[in-house]
Structure 1
Amino acid sequence: MTTPIEERALAAEVASRPIGQVIDTPNPLSLLGRIKALVDAVLPARTAKAIVPSDATALDPIPRGIYVGTGGDVTVRPAGSAADVTYKNMSDCSYIGIRVSHVRATGTTAGNLIAEA
């Protein structure tokens, strides 16, 4: 609910606009797109595929997380980051719950890696 002061301020703002000026209104389709992206972010992954670690090749699509079948170290480049990170001494059947753009061959000793996207 708006106060009388807020109503008068809004009326003054509207009156000061040139006739025919387009007013920015939220695009409901973009709002629905944002809601869909948020819902997709919390739902379980839809695909899973084996990862072949590479120092140059990016993962496509960027996974929601990585399953580590055989333990060891996993060197990754987090999505949106400029530096690599090494997850040390991951155990068998563990999970890295971060979005990554790369799984590096250099520094990765773990095996049976699966990208869940």
Structure 2
Amino acid sequence: MDRFKNSSDSVSDPARSLATIDATSSTPLDSAPKAIFVGTGGDVAVRAIDDATAVILRNVPAGTILPIRAAQVDPAHTTARDIVGLY
């Protein structure tokens, strides 16, 4: 039972859905997550929804949640794996 199912959902609310982000694909994400979870640490090159280019976040530890509205993960510069979008 979800006591909050009739509540509005904002970007700062907990995720209601999860989806694997393929860090080997250069395809833009279908929709921007509220945040991304990094399962296996490394570099994450991510383009945020309001940016034209990706920025590399270096040495992101495993288990980190990045509060980034990502539009795309750049596979050429991403070494982290097991990335999950929190929607």
Structure-1-length-normalised TM-score: 0.63
What secondary structure does 2:39 align onto?
Answer: strand
Query: Per-residue CA shift, 1:1-58, capped at 9, x if unaligned?
Result: xxxxxxxxxxxxxxxxxxxxxxxxxxxxxxxxxxx5xx52221111101110222x11
Query: Within 2, Cα distance between the matches of 1:93 and 1:44?
Result: 16
Letter in 2 for 1:73: D
Query: Within 1, Cα distance between the matches of 2:85 and 2:11?
Result: 15
Task: Give structure 2 stretches of 5+ with no counterpart.
Answer: 1-7
1:98 paired residue number: 68
Query: Within 2, Cα distance between the matches of 1:104 and 1:72?
Result: 13
Task: Give structure 1 stretches of 5+ with no counterpart.
Answer: 1-35
Say which structure is richer in helix: 1
Query: Within 2, Cα distance between the matches of 1:100 and 1:41?
Result: 12
% identical equivalent positions: 35
Letter in 2 for 1:102: Q
Query: Within 2, Cα distance between the matches of 1:42 and 1:52?
Result: 24
Say which structure is richer in strand: 2
Query: Within 1, Cα distance between the matches of 2:55 and 2:35?
Result: 14
Higher RCO structure (Cα 8 Å, ≥6 apart): 2
Question: What is the RMSD of the two structures over their aligned residues, measured on CA atoms?
Answer: 1.2
User: Which 4+ stretches in 1 moved above 6 angstroms?
Assistant: none
In the comparison of the two structures, how many residue pairs are matched? 79
Query: Within 2, Cα distance between the matches of 1:114 and 1:67?
Result: 5
